[in-house]
Amino acid sequence: MNTREIIARCEHLFEDLRFGAVKEWKAAKPGRKAIGYMPIYVPREIIHAAGMLPVGIFGGGDQLEVIQGDAYYQSYICRIPRSTLELGLTGRLDCLDGMLFPSICDVIRNLSGMWQIMFKDKYVKYFDVPQNYDDAIGGEFYVHEMQQLREDLGKLAGKEISDEQLRASIAVYNENRKAVRELYAYRAQEPWQAPTSELYLVLRAGCVLPPEEHTQVVRAYLAAARTEERPRRDNARVVLSGSFCEQPPLSLIKSIEMSGCYVVDEDFQLIQSWLLDEVPVSGDPLEELSKAFLHRSISTSSKYDERKEDKGKFLLKQIKDRGAEGVVFAAASFCDPALLERPMLQGILAQHKIPYTAFKYSENTGQMAPIREQAGTFADSIKLWSAA
Amino acid sequence: MSTPIQIVPGTSTPKKPPPAQKEDSMLLQKELINGNYHELATAREMNRKVSATFVPGNLNELLMCFDFARSLPETNALQNGMRKKSGKMIMDAERDGHSEDVCTYVKADLGMMLQGQVGPTGEALPTPDVLLLSYTGCFTFMKWFELIRQKYDCETVMLHVPYQGDGRISKNMRDYVLKQLKEKVIPTLEKVSGVKFDIDRLRQYMKESVKAEEDLVWTLQSAKHKPSPIDGYFGAVYYIGPIFTAFRGTPEATKFYSVLRKEIEQRIREGKGPVTPEGEHPGEKYRLVVEGPPNWTSFREFWKMFYDEGAVVVASTYAKVGGVYDFGFRHDPDHPLESLAEYCLGCYTNLNFPQRIDMICKYLDEYQADGLLINSIKSCNSFSAGQLLILREVERRTGKPAAFIESDLVDPRYFSAANIKNRLESYFQMVKQKRAAGMGAKPAGHAPMPPIVPAPTAH
Ligand code: SF4
Ligand code: SF4
């Protein structure tokens, strides 16, 4: 398959707000179950080890008309909880047997309780992760939380989840993360060959496909992208930061690229690269998942930085590793995590003399002209700067 | 979120209002709060270290074990709000790069720092030596102290308090908090203060806490009387002042609550309603439960909209932000650290939605209230995200009318007096009609009265 065909398939999966792929997967074998998760991170390995399909729910995008969901939220709250409720209330999430709400912010936290009330027949879990990174403190708490999830899902599946199953799932996700890492590295190397608007769709396919199949899609795309010659442009290389929850519309990503930026790193789908390296498949599986989380995972606003010096380190590393020349802060309107973090990151970039620009969007932002203009001006200024 | 205020006469309406009526407890409360600001202002001279922490999950007794002068940034923000100083602070913070979308408590605090840290009473406050990041019930807390640390390089210690997502406190959650207290929080406080931790000192303070907690609960529950001798929202913010801030565990707090209790006992004996800033309440016509914090920048004007109409708030969730005591929890001198963990885990904003709804329904029932009013605060996702479901659920379960208004804590740009007044008037009208139709009854064949809510917004 060529990139066009692969991307067409991914785009179809992305646009299908009725989650046909999930339904098909469930229908293929009686008794199969699917568990949804919201941003930002859950250990999908445990869901997979229960024989279930983890399904990433990232709101309704710009195609969903939100009617019922709006009746539950004030105007000053971001859009993802309303569109997610809309998905639920219109029956689009009926194919899910449960939902996990990670500890990303108070909006998603509160949505977990709303879900308990509004979808009483589903398994609903607020999934807390530690903000203390000592194995004996945060680690122990986290292992217990994962154990609880394991027991809950075991009950839902009708049989306990064994260590062996967990290890096998860890191996599956290790492969998936490895493929995603390769894709990221390739995009940073030759962003004209694997534009972010395509990479994004490839990643989003991972929200609904089983991980084994998603890994193949990533690899197939990578292989196809390497063989196709695409025109190289003199674009500015930027990292996009702050879009980890409510997603920008695809047209916004395209607009940034069209305005003269190569997005060489971003944080759209953090769950897929959250753990930075292989999780060992020997040893106690939950402890290994915990260690990876505590000591070898990405930084983002919803995670506490233990020391002042840690702030911005991850972003600086992204910039350095990917050879970026600037940062575009793109946050959902009213997004506390992204918007409270932003001034700290900007301060650090200023110290390092790294240029940045910032704007807000919502998942259904339709007006692209101002963003194109802002990103274009930013790209030009970077080019001028580097020419000077 | 949070917090307690001291009732400051003559600061909240454009025309100079008459001086607020004060009783002994109010004077005592004012003395305590002002005294604490003075202690903070003179901490450096007195060679004392300064801590800052949040009202929910406030470990006051523990901080006292290390002789810290204790600052509560949320209280500073709201005191500045009441004194009409917060608007400029917020704008300064926004000019300094903070988004218009985020919590105004944070921006008021950062703005105050930008303006040279002059505190609400006019004395300059010191930069804290330690930030005790009690991460309970609010995501913003984490960023707030990271922001301060980034700017002022303060030593910061995280106490992560897991959320009651399943509506209960598990052993794992309790153990986790306890371990952090023992292995992270206490060693850091020892290091910063140079004082060795003495658990017996903590027990001693907690004995005082229990006494004050008993009297606080008695005070808040006195609103079950008809007429209610207190206002459980506007009045309660001043009752919770000492115990939610730097005084829980002190003999001063014990004294304050015992004086307060005596005053209220007297009011009950005399069949009196609450005291308002303009004197005696004109007479209880409506008994309400309120969810959500008040607005501080127009506090008196806001309160007046209620008492002018004869409304008394008999219970509020806001009066529980610094600790939920009315269902039996007390600090336990025999298990001091365990009870600190339990306390943090049980704060109102750390409860899940079904728990919050249960609590409100219980209040409506036990305090024989006519209905629920939600004051939705723009700043506060912790309180506000999903409140419209609370409103619907409470209405469905109790059959009592509910209404929804919107404002902000300390940003004067988001207090629209005319809108709020209009909506309150319609609401009181609705309560009256509902009463005429038979209180709380849901007659067959009649659709329940639609709640007063803002029209859905195109987002
Ligand atoms: S967009 Fe931001 S504020 Fe909204 S739910 Fe996501 S993380 Fe929370
Ligand atoms: S978000 Fe709410 S709870 Fe948190 S600091 Fe702001 S007002 Fe307080």
CA distance A51 to A34: 9
Q: Of the candidates B150, B163, B355, which has its C-beta nearest A308's C-beta? A: B150
Pairwise CB contact (< 8 Å): B138 & A344? no
For atom 3 of ligand 2, the residue with the nearest CA is B1
- Sorted by sequence, the CB contacts under 8 Å of residue A38 that are 6+ apart come out as A57, A58, A80, A84, A99, A100, A101, A102, A104, A108, A111, A245
**In degrees to the nearest 10, what's the CA dihedral of B459, B96, A368, A247?**
-60
DSSP B52: E
Among A38, A101, A107, A364, which is best to mutate for testing ligand 1, by the most ligand atoms less than 8 A from CB? A107
User: What pLDDT is attached to residue B446?
Assistant: 40
User: What pLDDT is attached to residue B17?
Assistant: 61
Written as six digits, the tokens of B352 are 């899940």
Write out pLDDT tens, residues B304-329: 999 999 999 999 999 999 999 999 99
Per-residue pLDDT, averaged over B32-49, amounts to 96
**In degrees to the nearest 10, what's the CA dihedral of B409, B410, B414, B415?**
80
With beta carbons under 8 A apart, name residues in chain B contacting A146.
none
Among B317, B378, B379, B410, which is best to mutate for testing ligand 2, by the most ligand atoms less than 8 A from CB? B379
Measure B459 CA to nearest chain A CA, in Å.
Answer: 6
Q: Identify which ligand lies nearest to the alpha carbon of B108.
A: 2
Residue that has been written with the tokens 């002022």 in this structure: B152
- Residue B458: pLDDT above 90? no
Write out pLDDT tens, residues B104-121: 999 999 999 999 999 999
Q: Identify which ligand lies nearest to the alpha carbon of B379.
A: 2
- Residue B272: pLDDT above 90? yes
CA distance A382 to A253: 19
- Residue B25: pLDDT above 80? yes
Lowest mean pLDDT among A296-300, B78-82, B379-383: B78-82
Inform me whether the C-beta atom of residue B397 falls under 8 Å from chain A C-beta atoms.
Answer: no
B:170-199 residues touching chain A, CB 8 A cutoff: 170, 172-173, 175-176, 179-180, 183-184
Per-residue pLDDT, averaged over B211-215, amounts to 98
Write out pLDDT tens, residues B219-267: 999 999 999 999 999 999 999 999 999 999 999 999 999 999 999 999 9
Closest CA to B81 of B423, B419, B414: B414
- Residue B457: pLDDT above 60? no
Q: How far is CA A100 from the centre of its chain?
A: 14
- Sorted by sequence, the CB contacts under 8 Å of residue B38 that are 6+ apart come out as B121, B123
Q: How far is CA A325 from the centre of its chain?
A: 23
Angle of the B387-398 helix axis to the A106-118 helix axis, nearest 10 = 30
3-state SS record for A236-251? EEEEEECCCCCCCCHH
With beta carbons under 8 A apart, name residues in chain A contacting B180.
132, 137
Pairwise CB contact (< 8 Å): A340 & B140? yes
- Residue B426: pLDDT above 60? yes
Overall residue count recorded for chain B in this entry: 459
With beta carbons under 8 A apart, name residues in chain A contacting B130.
none
Q: Of the candidates B102, B166, B384, which has its C-beta nearest A339's C-beta? A: B102
Does any ligand 2 atom lie closer than 6 A to the CB of residue B29?
Answer: no
Inform me whether the C-beta atom of residue A116 falls under 8 Å from chain B C-beta atoms.
Answer: yes
Inform me whether the C-beta atom of residue A152 falls under 8 Å from chain B C-beta atoms.
Answer: no
**In degrees to the nearest 10, what's the CA dihedral of A233, A236, A240, A246?**
-50
**Phi first, then psi: what are they for A358, rounded to 5°?**
-145, 140
Helix (H, G, I), strand (E, B) or coil at B51: strand
- Asked if the ipTM is above 0.85, the reply is yes
Closest CA to B147 of A175, A131, A319, A312: A312
Interface A-B: count of C-beta contacts within 8 A: 178
User: What pLDDT is attached to residue B435?
Assistant: 85
Q: What is the largest CA-CA distance in chain B?
A: 72
The rounded Å distance from CA B138 to ligand 1 centre is 13
Q: Which residue of B has its CA nearest to A68?
A: B456
DSSP A194: S
Per-residue pLDDT, averaged over B39-52, amounts to 97
Q: What is the DSSP string of B89-142?
A: HHHHHHHTT--TTS-HHHHHHHHHHHTT-B-TTSSBPPPPSEEEEEE-S-SHHH
Closest CA to A364 of A107, A67, A96: A67
**In degrees to the nearest 10, what's the CA dihedral of A100, A103, A104, A105?**
110
Q: A240, A53 in Cβ contact below 8 A?
A: no
Per-residue pLDDT, averaged over B403-409, amounts to 95
CA distance B341 to B170: 12
User: What pLDDT is attached to residue B11?
Assistant: 36
Per-residue pLDDT, averaged over B406-426, amounts to 95
CA distance B331 to B209: 7
With beta carbons under 8 A apart, name residues in chain A contacting B166.
125-126
Residue of B94, B131, B139 best to disrupt the A interface, most CBs of A under 10 A = B139
Q: A124, A104 in Cβ contact below 8 A?
A: no
User: What pLDDT is attached to residue B9?
Assistant: 33
Measure B338 CA to nearest chain A CA, in Å.
Answer: 16
Written as six digits, the tokens of B23 are 């009783």
- Residue B5: pLDDT above 70? no
Measure B140 CA to nearest chain A CA, in Å.
Answer: 7
- Sorted by sequence, the CB contacts under 8 Å of residue A373 that are 6+ apart come out as A259
The ligand 2 atom at the shortest distance from the C-alpha of residue B1 is: 8
The rounded Å distance from CA A147 to ligand 2 centre is 31
Closest CA to B370 of B285, B276, B282: B285
Inform me whether the C-beta atom of residue A135 falls under 8 Å from chain B C-beta atoms.
Answer: no
Q: Of the candidates B184, B386, B454, which has its C-beta nearest A110's C-beta? A: B386
CA distance B228 to B232: 9
The ligand 1 atom at the shortest distance from the C-alpha of residue A246 is: 1
Q: How far is CA B205 from the centre of its chain?
A: 22
Per-residue pLDDT, averaged over B367-383, amounts to 97
Q: B385, A106 in Cβ contact below 8 A?
A: yes
Domain ranges within chain B, ordered by starting residue: 20-436
CA distance B264 to B259: 9
Q: Which residues pair with A35 in a beta bridge?
A: A54, A98
The rounded Å distance from CA A346 to ligand 2 centre is 23
Residue of A70, A104, A106 best to disrupt the B interface, most CBs of B under 10 A = A106
Does any ligand 2 atom lie closer than 6 A to the CB of residue B75?
Answer: no
| Amino acid sitting at position A280 | P
Q: Of the candidates B170, B356, B378, which has its C-beta nearest A76's C-beta? A: B378
Asked whether the CA dihedral A297, A299, A305, A308 is positive or negative, the reply is positive
- Sorted by sequence, the CB contacts under 8 Å of residue B27 that are 6+ apart come out as none
Per-chain mean pLDDT for chain B: 92
- Residue B450: pLDDT above 80? no
The rounded Å distance from CA B378 to ligand 2 centre is 10
H-helix or E-strand containing A186?
Answer: helix A163-189
Residue that has been written with the tokens 């229990």 in this structure: B210
Inform me whether the C-beta atom of residue A334 falls under 8 Å from chain B C-beta atoms.
Answer: yes
Closest CA to B10 of B1, B19, B2: B19
Closest CA to B229 of B353, B313, B149, B146: B313
Inform me whether the C-beta atom of residue A81 falls under 8 Å from chain B C-beta atoms.
Answer: yes
The rounded Å distance from CA B380 to ligand 2 centre is 5
Q: What is the pLDDT along chain A (388 residues), one digit of tens a residue?
A: 899 999 999 999 999 999 999 999 999 999 999 999 999 999 999 999 999 999 999 999 999 999 999 999 999 999 999 999 999 999 999 999 999 999 999 999 999 999 999 999 999 999 999 999 999 999 999 999 999 999 999 999 999 999 999 999 999 999 999 999 999 999 999 999 999 999 999 999 999 999 999 999 999 999 999 999 999 999 999 999 999 999 999 999 999 999 999 999 999 999 999 999 999 999 999 999 999 999 999 999 999 999 999 999 999 999 999 999 999 999 999 999 999 999 999 999 999 999 999 999 999 999 999 999 999 999 999 998 777 6
Residue that has been written with the tokens 């015992």 in this structure: B258
- Residue B3: pLDDT above 90? no
Inform me whether the C-beta atom of residue B455 falls under 8 Å from chain A C-beta atoms.
Answer: no
